[in-house]
């Protein structure tokens, strides 16, 4: 069987994996692996060589099991190129802990979350109501921390440097008029898909959003010399233009969740409108679709992303966040890029 890349325009290909829930406290963690078109797939070809009798698509679980049994030297050679796959993790547990801390303080009882679960098991309508609200608060917290929300916040800060002060007409060139501060997406957007577990639905989308928009966040936080020299004169216009440029290329995701892709596109269009309000060129060319769905069996790039997500999920299950950061050169965690130092600090503070 001949398998192609699946898309002649996409610059990255993505698929999703999850560690087994027994290793994450029965909480579903979502890990998106992003394979860039320009990065060699030496590691993928080396792994495929161990399965000469299997044609077509390989299941990631089979490849991960084989990878773990390989000699250390062989694994190290595969890691030499595998580490360049970008990994985006969304773990709801820190958000649950934050909300549980609020519940403990509100009830003045350290065992309040456990008591709530016990009361719900006994059939208490009040406990069921509070736990449902807890899930909503966690889902909203994940959305607020998502890469998409971070991009929107930074874009608005750059687009409105005078904090929405009404300017007289002669000075209107210094800033734009105020835009509505509506969020990119809300919980209602996810409830439309009919899924009962809103936390899982939101976390899965947030992992995709990290892959879709991390380059835009990087562009905002890594100004070049021209930005530093001209910011005082153009009020961040050059930085906003560079951010807009990162939203133009196309990205591919494994087929299977069209509502998530539609929400990514909706968010992308809102970002472009915000960042390029006075730059019609980017608004026009940004009208082309930025995301496509591909069947994994028809794209070796998506298959590679699937296997990388499986390997990253296995590392996260056994060695937590610090293990993933040690193995992959670019990792985002709950919406923001993290380093080894960040992961170590997180562990010292009782994190994952």
Note whether residue 85 is domain-resident.
Answer: yes
> Is 3 part of a structural domain of the chain?
no
Task: Using alpha carbons, select from 86, 79, 89 the residue that is nearest to residue 11.
Answer: 86
pLDDT tens across the length of the chain (352 residues): 334 566 678 999 999 999 999 999 999 999 999 999 989 999 999 999 999 887 777 889 999 999 999 999 999 999 999 999 999 999 999 999 999 999 999 999 999 999 999 999 999 999 999 999 999 999 999 999 999 999 998 888 777 655 545 556 555 555 544 455 577 899 999 986 555 689 999 999 999 999 999 999 999 877 655 555 454 445 567 788 889 899 999 999 999 999 999 999 999 999 988 887 666 655 555 568 899 999 888 889 999 999 999 999 999 999 999 999 999 999 999 999 999 999 988 878 767 6
Which phi and psi angles does 194 have, rounded to 5°?
85, 5
Q: Give the range of the structural domain holding residue 245, as residue numbers without chain letter.
A: 10-348
CA distance 323 to 310: 14
Compute, in degrees rounded to 10, the torsion defined by CA atoms 179, 181, 183, 189.
-70
Give domain status of residue 5, yes or no: no
Does residue 148 belong to any structural domain of this protein?
yes
86 C-beta neighbours (distance < 10 Å), count: 25
In a domain, 4, yes or no: no
Report yes or no on 228 lying in a domain: yes
Distance CA 91, CA 307 (A): 20
Per DSSP, 23 falls in state G
Domain count along the chain: 1
Q: Is residue 119 part of a domain?
A: yes
What does pTM read for this prediction?
0.90
First to last CA, the chain: 42
Position 221 in a domain: yes
CA 131 vs CA 2, 13, 187, 197, 291: distances in Å: 50, 37, 16, 12, 35
């Amino acid at each position: 069987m001949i398998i192609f890349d699946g898309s002649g325009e996409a610059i990255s290909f993505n698929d999703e994996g999850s560690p087994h829930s027994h290793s994450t406290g029965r909480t579903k963690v979502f890990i998106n692996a992003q394979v860039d078109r320009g990065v060699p797939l030496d590691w993928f070809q080396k792994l495929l060589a161990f399965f000469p009798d299997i044609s077509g698509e390989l299941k990631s679980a089979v490849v991960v099991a084989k990878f773990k049994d390989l000699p250390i030297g062989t694994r190290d050679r595969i890691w030499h190129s595998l580490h360049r796959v970008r990994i985006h993790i969304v773990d709801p547990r820190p958000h649950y802990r934050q909300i549980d801390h609020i519940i403990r303080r509100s009830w003045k009882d350290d065992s309040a979350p456990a008591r709530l679960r016990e009361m719900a098991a006994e059939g208490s309508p009040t406990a069921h109501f509070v736990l449902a609200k807890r899930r909503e608060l966690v889902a909203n917290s994940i959305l607020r921390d998502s890469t998409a929300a971070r991009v929107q916040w930074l874009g608005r800060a750059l687009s409105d440097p005078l904090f929405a002060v009404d300017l007289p007409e002669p000075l209107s060139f210094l800033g734009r008029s105020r835009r509505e501060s509506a969020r990119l997406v809300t919980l209602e957007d996810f409830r439309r898909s009919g899924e009962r577990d809103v936390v899982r639905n939101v976390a899965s989308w947030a992992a995709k959003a990290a892959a879709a928009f991390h380059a835009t966040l990087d562009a905002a936080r890594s100004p070049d010399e021209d930005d530093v020299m001209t910011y005082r004169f153009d009020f961040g216009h050059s930085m906003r233009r560079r951010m807009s440029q990162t939203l133009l290329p196309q990205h591919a995701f494994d087929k299977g969740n069209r509502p998530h892709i539609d929400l990514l596109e909706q968010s992308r269009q809102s970002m472009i409108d915000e960042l390029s309000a006075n730059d019609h060129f980017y608004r026009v060319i940004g009208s082309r679709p930025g995301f496509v769905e591909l069947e994994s069996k028809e794209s070796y790039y998506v298959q590679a992303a699937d296997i990388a997500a499986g390997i990253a999920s296995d590392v996260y299950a056994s060695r937590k966040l610090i293990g993933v950061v040690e193995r992959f050169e670019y990792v985002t965690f709950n919406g923001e890029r993290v380093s080894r130092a960040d992961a170590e600090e997180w562990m010292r503070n009782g994190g994952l």
